[in-house]
Structures are given as C-alpha cells and as structure tokens.
Amino acid sequence: MTSRDGGRGLEGRTALVTGGGSGIGRGICRELARAGARLLAADISYEGALDTVDLLSLDGHQARPVALDVTDSAAIGGIRSRLEAEGWMPDVLVNNAAIFGMAAIEDIEPAEWDRMIEVNLKGPFLMMQAFIPRMIEQRWGRVVSISSTAGKTGEAFASHYCAAKRGLIALSRSVSLEVAPHVTVNCICPGFVETPMTRTETRFWQSRDPNISEAEVRMRMRNQIPLGRMGRPEDIAGAVRWLSLPVNDYITGQAINVDGGLDFH
C-alpha cells in the first residue's frame, strides 16, 4: 500500500510498538518499517526486542530495541524523557503488548484479574498518557491498539481477558474524541491468529476434554471462520499499517475486525 503521493507513507515518522519482540508485534514492526518508519521495538523481553531489531536491520531499516514493562508508569516516563532527548519520540504508537489466559469465573484469582487488566488495559492507558501530548503538540499522530473480537462478543472462560479488551475499545473511543482532529485513535480486533495465545486456548479446551486432539480443536476454530484459515501476524500488521498512514486521516474512534469474517459489526 502506498500513499497518494507515491511514497511508502511513513517516511520521516517514528513508530513505537509494544510487545514488538515476537508474534503480531514483530509483524507490525516489520510492516511499519517497510512503510518507511523508524522503529522502536519495545518489549518486556529485551532479547526479543533485540531480535526484532536485528531482523529489521538486516533489511536495511532503522530501528532500536526498548526494554519496557507497560505497567510501570515510572519506567515509561523515563523512556519518554530519553526518547525526547534523543529525537526518537514516536509519531505512531501501537499498543500491542498483552497477556491471555482462560479460566472459569469461579477459578479466577483476584491477582490474576488485576494482572489481566493491568497489562491489557492500564498499559495502553499509560502509553497514551505518555506519548499523545507530543502528538497533539505537533498536530499529527496515530494510535492503534490491538484489542480482540472477544472484546466485542465475549468468550466463555475468558471473562477477565474480554473485560480488558472491551475496556480498551472504550478507552480508545473516548480518547479519540479528545484528541481529534489531528490525532487518530483506533483499535484492531483480531480473531483467531497463529500465535502462542491461540495455542494457550487450544490447550485449555483439551484440558476440559482429554479425548479431543489439538488438531480437532484447531479444526473447530477454523470452521468458524468464513475465509477458512487462521489469521497470520501479517494480516494484523497490514491493517495497522493502513490505519497509520497519513492518507487515512478520516478514520478515528473505530474498532475494526480483522478476523476472516468470524464476527460481524
């Protein structure tokens, strides 16, 4: 995808991707780099972030790793100050870092609930709070948060995860109204994607029915998807790139499904 002026679209821009050390986050880093952006691959695993940066560097892209716990407000403030001093403040913020788990409502410990909300909802809030003010000041910015179709429809045995992802949609919608017209804020809502999170779900359903194989669980998942396959990280990354481009300045406050037709809104 190119911009109307024929360029790749994000030349001269800097993008920060949380959870950029693996999976969907790494795919997003690669896609935004291809669009011309400098990349900050941020991850709680510095080694993962460094691996992503190495891959980008091999392709000739400019990138830096960032060790980041999105739940640590003091650490985020320190990183913000450093990036500002070094001329690496992000124009595009992608809130991708997340955790996943499945349990019956009666089995969810309060600490497990708190951790799910802290990473999946408070983390994006802290990142927006840290980096949106500069976007407002420069009168341009893009924020894309990775929610989930489960945040719209709910899912049995994942009430804590669904609550956090629904909250992320509401947070993004509310912030989009505050920062318009120069900064856009949107969510991408994936369905089933080939990541470790999906494997966690597969193992959960196997634990409830020892007679079912992993292949059968995955087949049941695929059978729910009209396009007949699980999503790939690059499917999500392509949508993030599209929303990040300067040309797409009339899309904000949306939660866009990228799920092969799994859900309809």
Active site positions, annotated: 161
Tell me the CA distances in angstroms from 29 to 93, 159, 166, one per residue in order: 11, 29, 24
Residue 31 exposure: Cα atoms within 13 Å on the Cβ side: 26
For residues 16 and 40, the answer to whether their CB atoms sit within 8 Å is yes
**Cα 73 to the chain's mean position, in Å?**
19
Report CA torsion sign: 121, 123, 124, 130: positive
User: How many CB atoms sit inside 10 A of residue 194's CB?
Assistant: 16
Q: What are the start-end ranges of the H helices in the chain?
A: 23-34, 46-58, 73-86, 110-117, 123-138, 150-153, 159-179, 196-208, 214-223, 233-244
| Among 21, 53, 22, 18, CA closest to 38 | 53
Report CA torsion sign: 132, 80, 62, 95: negative
Residue 68 exposure: Cα atoms within 13 Å on the Cβ side: 33
